[in-house]
Chains A and B, each alone.
Chain A
Amino acid sequence: MRKLLHPIYVRLTHWVNAATVLVMIGSGLQIHNAYPIVPFTFPSWMTIGDWLGGALLWHFAAMWVFTLNLVVMVVLGVFTGRYRLMLLPVSPRMVISDVTAALSGRGLHDPSGRYNAVQKVLYLGILMTLVVLVASGLALWKPVQFQGLTAAMGGFQGARVVHFAAMAGVVAFLILHVAMAILVPRTLRQMTLGR
């Protein structure tokens, strides 16, 4: 039997993360609609919770699952050595060389499951973005109790911009991530069954 590419904790935290991120984005867009920082509101098919009050209930419920899951995911990722093995080392030179390889038509997806430099950068980037989302979320939730954190983000309105920008980063990642999973369907099986 071949070794599992993704151990069970990776697959579980991945899908819990996927589900809660979607709830956080959908309810977050509805909350944003009450006083938008971009010059438009998001259509109702994108939002969760039928108005601001309902969306806040969803957002502040899903945040617990999302945050606890993120903590478990990152702690296990670091302490099992998986992040070091899968995501490091990475350097700008490796990224340039892998991008050049891709543009010249050589395949990027290593069948062994090893990540190329672009994937490493993207996965490290999404992890950091999720951490920024939690930090800016705390700054918005408790701007008096955690006023140092809120001040570091440029005050309450600054924290809204950081929170929104981080969300937009997650959406951009999601689009790419899902597109790649569709292009290489084997990855979907690997993330579900482990191999």
Chain B
Amino acid sequence: MSFKFRNQTPPVDPQDLVKDAAKLLPDRSRRRFLGQITSLGALAALTGCDIVNGTSAEDALRLISDWNDWVQARLFYPGKLALTYPDSAITDPFPFNAFYPPDQAPKVNGERWQLYVEGAVQDRRHWTLADLIRLPQETQVTQHICIEGWSAIGKWTGVPMHIFLQRIGADTRRKYVNFICADRYETSLDMATALHPQTQMTLRFGGEALPRPYGFPMKVRVPTKLGFKNPKHVVQISITDDFVEGFWERRGYNWFAGL
């Protein structure tokens, strides 16, 4: 099976891009901007991306991004379902996307894997794959939309998250559901989205056990959010009021990222 691998590597030298972005800023912040970026050079090389960082422009843009989170939460209608498609519309092969190539996807032992449940819940017991398989399952054929602009239709099967949250006695008045993954990826969902009928703790993809590159043993499928809000290889779920920015959100992606 072939996978399309995309990452954030810009088509030109990141330092050149930084210099161009800095031209848009006033002189004083330009120096700050370049200074910051130089110190972040190692990180930029590592992730193949740069951050608009530490400037007044950056701060203003982040504030507006927070405002956009607020607006999107109000535009989000819990009863609005993402379109579903016939099996014939499924994209094959389905694109792979992560901050590493597919052969570096974490190798999780499905027998030993446990899902840790933290925060405001009544039942903190760990969940095995077999436990989750015994819960009610739902299948959806929905469109995955990536922040990069590509989209693909896939078939995901798993436990509706609202059922799981009910089973663990989650306090659904809390604001967030935070995820930690085996590849150290992190992201978080607003509670309204976590309770959306199509938000799913996915165990199967295309009718078979979730393949390793697509998030074995469990991923969270959120058809009302951009792809990066769909964490793979999830090992911990927390129900909390503590806001945790995710892997990409820290690098500048909008947190709510609702579709």
Interface string of B141-167 (1 = CB under 8 A from A): 001011111110000000000000000
How far apart sit A49 and B22, CA to CA, in the bound complex (Å)? Answer: 9
Q: Is the pair A51, B64 in contact by a Cβ cutoff of 8 Å?
A: no
- Contact pattern, A 32-51, Cβ under 8 Å of B = 1, otherwise 0: 11110100010111011111
Give the size category of A's interface with B. Answer: 20 to 34
* Known A35-B150, A144-B259; contact A51-B50, beta-carbon cutoff 8 A: yes
Interfacial chain B residues near A47, Cβ < 8 Å: 17, 20
Interface string of A142-168 (1 = CB under 8 A from B): 111101000100001100100000000
Nearest CB of B to A24, in Å = 14
Choose the segment among A53-61, A83-91, A178-186 that binds chain B (4+ C-beta atoms closer than 8 Å). Answer: A53-61
Asked if A31 is at the interface of the complex by the 8 Å CB criterion, the answer is: yes
Most chain B beta carbons < 10 A, residue from A34, A51, A54, A142: A51
Cβ proximity bits B42-75 to A, threshold 8 Å, 1 near / 0 not: 0000000111100000001110110010000001
Docked CA distance A156–B144 (Å): 10
Closest to B33 in A: A50
B106 CB–A CB distance under 8 Å: no
Option from A32, A35, A60, A160 in Cβ contact (under 8 Å) with B65:
A60
Q: Is the CB of A49 within 8 A of B150?
A: no
Expressed in whole angstroms, the Cα–Cα distance for A155 and B52 within the complex equals: 31
CB of B80 within 8 Å of the partner chain: yes
Main secondary structure of the interface of A (DSSP, over half): helix
Shortest B44–chain A CB gap in Å is 9
Which of B132-140, B179-187, B246-254 contacts its partner?
B246-254
Q: Which residues of B contact A54 (CB under 8 A)?
A: 21, 50-52, 61, 252
Please, which residues of chain B bring their CB within 8 A of the CB of A51? 8, 10, 14, 17, 49-50
Q: How many angstroms from the CA of A37 to the CA of B149 in the assembled complex?
A: 9
On whether the beta carbons of B20 and A45 are closer than 8 Å, the reply is yes
CA distance A147 to B224 in the complex (A): 11
* CB pair B146 A35 closer than 8 Å: yes
Please state if A142 and B75 are interface contacts (CB–CB under 8 Å).
yes
Contacts of B1 in A (CB 8 A): none
A32-B149, A35-B149, A51-B17 as given contacts; A145 in contact with B77, CB under 8 Å: yes
- A45 and B65 alpha carbons, distance in the complex (Å): 25
Cβ of A50 and Cβ of B149 under 8 Å apart? no
* Interface positions of A from 60 to 90, Cβ below 8 Å from B: 60-61, 64
- A44 touching B251 by the CB < 8 A rule? no
List of A residues within 8 angstroms of B120 by Cβ: none
Contacts of B149 in A (CB 8 A): 31-32, 34-35, 37, 160
With A and B bound together, what is the CA distance between A141 and B189 in angstroms?
18
Known contacts: A56-B253, A142-B75. The answer to whether A44 contacts B64 by CB under 8 A is no
**Cβ of A144: which chain B residues have Cβ within 8 Å of it?**
80-83, 223-224, 258-259
25 contacts between A and B (CB under 8 A): A32-B149, A34-B147, A34-B149, A35-B6, A37-B149, A48-B21, A48-B24, A50-B18, A50-B50, A51-B8, A51-B14, A51-B17, A51-B50, A53-B248, A56-B147, A57-B52, A57-B62, A60-B254, A61-B60, A142-B75, A144-B80, A144-B82, A144-B83, A145-B80, A147-B80
Binding site for B on A (CB under 8 A): 31-35, 37, 41, 43-45, 47-54, 56-58, 60-61, 64, 142-145, 147, 151, 156-157, 160
Known contacts A44-B10, A51-B10; can you find 10 more A-B pairs with CB under 8 A? A34-B8, A37-B149, A44-B16, A49-B52, A50-B18, A52-B49, A53-B253, A64-B64, A142-B75, A145-B80
The 9 closest A-B pairs by CB, nearest first: A53-B252, A35-B149, A54-B52, A50-B21, A57-B61, A61-B64, A34-B148, A144-B259, A50-B17
